[in-house]
């Protein structure tokens, strides 16, 4: 039973940390999109080049956010399956 509780606590911890990463990635992605929007308003090529890099970073952060969301869903499913009455035996 102690091992079961340890595993459940570990999954809960991972789920919490992944949710934090998801939030940070979403926030940073939004900032990068805003930078892209602002930088493309200038006519200087160097700023437009930076804007393209910002857009790429925003896409990558969006992908990280989606990956975290998918991992969180899987962990939530694992936690639900660990609840009493979810079809497993607890000794």
| Domain ranges (residues) in the chain | 14-77
- Residue 89 or residue 21, greater confidence: 21
Radius of gyration in angstroms for the set of CA atoms belonging to the chain, rounded to a whole number: 20
Q: Is the pLDDT of residue 86 over 70?
A: no
18-37 pLDDT per residue, tens: 999 999 999 999 999 999 99
**pLDDT for position 34:** 95
pLDDT of residue 2: 80
Res. 89 pLDDT band, cuts 50 70 90: low
pTM for the complete prediction? 0.79
The DSSP secondary-structure symbol of 87 reads S
């Amino acid at each position: 039973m102690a091992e079961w509780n340890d595993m459940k606590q570990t999954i809960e911890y991972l789920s919490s940390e992944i949710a934090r990463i998801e939030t940070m990635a979403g926030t940073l992605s939004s900032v990068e999109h805003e930078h892209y929007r602002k930088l493309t308003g200038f006519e200087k090529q160097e700023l437009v080049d930076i804007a393209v890099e910002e857009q790429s970073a925003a896409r990558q952060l969006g992908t990280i956010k989606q990956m975290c969301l998918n991992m969180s869903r899987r962990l939530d499913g694992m936690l639900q399956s660990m609840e009493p009455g979810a079809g497993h035996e607890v000794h």
